[in-house]
A and B are shown apart, each in its own frame.
Chain A
Amino acid sequence: MSAVTQDTAVSTGRITRAFIYLVLILFALFYLLPLYVMGVNSLKPLQEITGGNMMALPSEWTLDPWRSAWSTAQIGVEPTGLKPYFLNSILMVVPAVAISTIIGALNGYVLTKWRFRGDTWVFGLMLFSCFIPFQIVLIPMAVVLGKLGLAGTVPGLILVHVVYGIGFTTLYFRNYYASFPTELVRAAMIDGAGFFRIFWRILLPVSGPIAVVSVIWQFTNIWNDFLFGVSFGGTSQPMTVALNNLVQSSTGVKEYNVHFAGAILAALPTLLVYIVAGRYFVRGLMAGSVKG
């Protein structure tokens, strides 16, 4: 990806360039529009939305919608705000990301440096599992979580996300380790280093970039998941489900400003991760699963 700075050799005329800039800027406005709408309207009193213009800046700035979305808004039947659900999401995401990344790293290590007959098949079967429509596993998963006593709990959701996340994490680490010189691993073996020692001393120290990719990918996917949350969340629903309940609630006045504040709250963690580490994410995606 060092080639990113390499521009095309094509040259363009003045008018063409003006046109190109115009299109690029219009699209930038299109992508920014919903963010602007959410931000501006989350800082207005409700009557400024229902009686005013959504594109206008607030004439009276207020943080009340944010306070309400966070701690007092009616979610389902409880006036708890989104706070407890935000915590559920954190409690679910952190272990699920950590576990699936560690497993993915070990799997990738085995699949590239300790190859065995049929390893491509094993990998292929795991890889296909990334792409199944999850509807196909919803019913049996509900049965199994019920049997395990994990239905409607955070540990249950962690289990689900780890199980359906290791395909992707394995893919990332496998592709990354594949380009790591196997000779170094062989040399270490001859020197008597064992399986875990080689992993710990040789592979792990160079795994930083791909670990970042795996963590960002898993974090975004699990934080943003709705289907598993709504199916198996029970009383431990994640943020996305709570936000949907808040917005779709059919009772009372629709508090658009609170909905927008809630939506930004739900988006904040992944947006922060994206702003801080987004460039590694894209680079890794290009180098990993997708051949550009």
Chain B
Amino acid sequence: MATKADFRTTLQDWLPKLVLAPSFAVTLLFVYGFILFTVVLSFTGSKMLPKFTWVGFENYEKLFALPAWSTAIVNIAIFATLYITICTLIGLMLAIFLDQKIRGEGVLRPIYLYPMALSFIVTGTAWKWFLDPGIGLERIMHQWGWESFSFTWIKDGEMALYTIVIAAVWQTSGFVMAMFLAGLRGIDNEILKAAQIDGASNWQLYRRIVIPLLRPAFLSAFVILSHLAIKSYDLVIALTGGGPGRATEMPATFMYSYTFTRNQMGIGASSAVIMLMTIAAIMVPYLYAELKEKK
């Protein structure tokens, strides 16, 4: 009898860990094991299939000598900067405006937010044809009588990157708005009233009090947007396919094409490692701070 009870208690002690164990094991294997595998591959001469001939840093040297990779790095830097800045500015502006006892807020909010529910492939399809000079915006303007109107960015190697910014901002700026709005609604109105009594103008109120109080929302928005930016693959594929030429190549498209279509797996793996390190540099300090706080 005693041993049976003991067994039950022991089981109860171990049960929680047993329940968690499969998820943890899967994470260790499929996330950290796979990361290790890719890191190892990046130091091998793998071409079409993984093989384990050690080549040291050769892939990384080759990678950074490739013009396509340099293009990808420059593109992601421009794209991420514009995308994060514009999304944050639009999101903040819409949130502050919506917070002014606006009639119809209940109608406007879902309109701003719905693009977030769509796949990047859908977004890409819609904008690809809307921005196409042959049938889209340029032609619309011509038909409406603005004959000199020209908008050929999507076909222009110099400008195609900015069409990706437009579509990406369209997709996520409403979501950023929601994050800021939640932050604004969390601010105690008494603070604002006190400042008003002290004679602060609206502009001063926002610049000196409200925006500093929104710091956590800024940080969350930055982390989420930079993470989305670096992962951006679908939107580029759907909107420009990395073109015209290789003008809108990004690290994500580079990795895919080198690994799976050009059979340069070693170089593909090394580009994935660089992507991971970039994201980790942003995410790890953020997650560390979050988890420490919540303890």
Chain A positions near chain B (C-beta within 8 angstroms): 1, 3-4, 6-10, 12, 17, 20-21, 23-24, 27-28, 30-35, 37-38, 41, 49-50, 53-55, 103, 106-107, 110-111, 114, 116, 120, 122-129, 131-141, 143-144, 163-164, 166-167, 170, 178, 194-196, 220, 223-227, 231, 240, 243-244, 247-248, 256, 259-260, 262-264, 266-267, 270-271, 273-275, 278, 282, 285-286, 290-292
Q: How far is the CA of A266 from the CA of B117 in the complex (A)?
A: 11
Are B37 and A290 in touch, CB under 8 angstroms? Answer: no
Q: Contacting B276 at CB < 8 Å: which of A1, A37, A136, A273?
A: A136
Can you list 9 A-B pairs with a CB-CB distance of less than 8 A?
A: A27-B112, A144-B30, A163-B27, A170-B23, A243-B121, A285-B178, A286-B179, A290-B179, A291-B220
* Identity of the chain B residue whose Cβ is nearest the Cβ of A133 in the assembled complex: B275
Say yes or no for B161: interface residue by CB 8 A criterion: no
For the complex formed, measure the closest distance between the CB of A137 and the CB atoms of chain B, giving whole angstroms: 4
Are A271 and B23 in touch, CB under 8 angstroms? Answer: no
Chain A to chain B: the 9 pairs with minimum beta-carbon distance, closest first: A292-B182, A114-B16, A224-B119, A34-B126, A274-B117, A226-B234, A129-B31, A140-B34, A140-B37
Are A136 and B41 in touch, CB under 8 angstroms? Answer: no
Interface SS, B side: helix
Are A240 and B125 in touch, CB under 8 angstroms? Answer: no
Are A8 and B100 in touch, CB under 8 angstroms? Answer: yes
Q: How far is the CA of A225 from the CA of B38 in the complex (A)?
A: 22
Are A4 and B185 in touch, CB under 8 angstroms? Answer: yes
Q: How far is the CA of A290 from the CA of B286 in the complex (A)?
A: 12
Are A8 and B184 in touch, CB under 8 angstroms? Answer: yes
* Identity of the chain A residue whose Cβ is nearest the Cβ of B17 in the assembled complex: A116
For the complex formed, measure the closest distance between the CB of A284 and the CB atoms of chain B, giving whole angstroms: 11
Are B129 and A259 in touch, CB under 8 angstroms? Answer: yes
* Identity of the chain B residue whose Cβ is nearest the Cβ of A169 in the assembled complex: B23
Are B33 and A53 in touch, CB under 8 angstroms? Answer: no
Are A133 and B127 in touch, CB under 8 angstroms? Answer: no
Q: Cβ of A290: which chain B residues have Cβ within 8 Å of it?
A: 179, 182, 220, 224
Are B275 and A136 in touch, CB under 8 angstroms? Answer: yes
Are B97 and A24 in touch, CB under 8 angstroms? Answer: yes
Given pairs A132-B35, A240-B234, 14 additional interface contacts (CB within 8 A) = A4-B185, A8-B184, A34-B126, A34-B127, A106-B20, A122-B20, A126-B23, A141-B30, A143-B50, A163-B27, A166-B23, A231-B256, A243-B122, A260-B126
Are A55 and B118 in touch, CB under 8 angstroms? Answer: no
Q: How far is the CA of A282 from the CA of B284 in the complex (A)?
A: 25
Are B117 and A220 in touch, CB under 8 angstroms? Answer: yes
Of the stretches B59-67, B78-86, B149-157, B265-273, the one at the interface is B265-273
* Size of B's binding interface in residues, CB under 8 A: 111
For the complex formed, measure the closest distance between the CB of A266 and the CB atoms of chain B, giving whole angstroms: 5
Given contacts A125-B32, A137-B35, contact A24 B108 (CB under 8 A): yes
* Identity of the chain A residue whose Cβ is nearest the Cβ of B278 in the assembled complex: A133
Q: Cβ of A196: which chain B residues have Cβ within 8 Å of it?
A: 15
Interface SS, A side: helix
Q: Cβ of A8: which chain B residues have Cβ within 8 Å of it?
A: 99-101, 184, 187, 189, 192
Are A292 and B34 in touch, CB under 8 angstroms? Answer: no
Are A282 and B113 in touch, CB under 8 angstroms? Answer: yes
Are B272 and A31 in touch, CB under 8 angstroms? Answer: no
For the complex formed, measure the closest distance between the CB of A281 and the CB atoms of chain B, giving whole angstroms: 9
Say yes or no for B88: interface residue by CB 8 A criterion: no
Are B238 and A244 in touch, CB under 8 angstroms? Answer: yes
Are B114 and A28 in touch, CB under 8 angstroms? Answer: no
Are B291 and A120 in touch, CB under 8 angstroms? Answer: yes
Q: How far is the CA of A107 from the CA of B118 in the complex (A)?
A: 29
Q: Cβ of B112: which chain A residues have Cβ within 8 Å of it?
A: 27-28, 31
Q: Cβ of A28: which chain B residues have Cβ within 8 Å of it?
A: 108, 111-112
Q: Cβ of B234: which chain A residues have Cβ within 8 Å of it?
A: 226-227, 240
Say yes or no for B193: interface residue by CB 8 A criterion: yes
For the complex formed, measure the closest distance between the CB of A34 and the CB atoms of chain B, giving whole angstroms: 4
For the complex formed, measure the closest distance between the CB of B100 and the CB atoms of chain A, giving whole angstroms: 6
Are A271 and B114 in touch, CB under 8 angstroms? Answer: yes
* Identity of the chain A residue whose Cβ is nearest the Cβ of B293 in the assembled complex: A291
Are A240 and B119 in touch, CB under 8 angstroms? Answer: yes
Are A226 and B119 in touch, CB under 8 angstroms? Answer: yes
